[in-house]
Amino acid sequence: MTDRPLSRSDYVEFHSITTRWMDNDIYGHVNNVTYYSYFDTAVNHYLIKTGGLNIKTGSVIAYVVDSRCSYLKSIAYPDELEVGLRVNRLGNSSVEYGLAIFRRGETEACASGSFVHVFVNRAEEKSVPIPEGIRVALQRLKSD
């Protein structure tokens, strides 16, 4: 991470998210665990739509094995959000995503984080190489 605020230019792809009334907690802002849901939704939407991931019957699926989030500015319902995606590291069977949450129209992130997916054989739950279609889609998200 750098000392400068993260901006939209640090990300390759964006996914729109609409906050929901139930996302707010008793303090009147989106609860911290919900940010992870936004991250997961954006990544899996991209993998399904662009990489061809078949979450229902595909032989290869992806498990989150590590995640983190830094909260920079509060968000609350009814904010309209965009999740920025990029690939920080692409390995043989795993990928680390860089993610950030922006209010629609704002250039500085409200939150930033990462998570690691490991691709596994659904039946045996053992790591496998990232399928070619998904690898091609992930390479499009590389930030370097």
- Domain limits at 89? 8-139
pTM, two decimal places: 0.92
Tell me, yes or no, whether 2 lies in a domain.
Answer: no
CATH number of the domain that 72 lies in?
3.10.129.10
Residue 144 belongs to a domain: no
Q: Say if CB 91 and CB 108 are below 8 A apart.
A: no
Number of folded domains in the chain?
1
Domain assignment present for residue 1? The answer is no
The residues near 72 (Cβ < 8 Å, ≥ 6 apart) are 5, 6, 108, 109, 110, 111, 112
**Residue pLDDT, tens place only, 79-128:** 999 999 999 999 999 999 999 999 999 999 999 999 999 999 999 999 99
3 lies in some domain: no
Indicate whether 47 belongs to any domain. yes
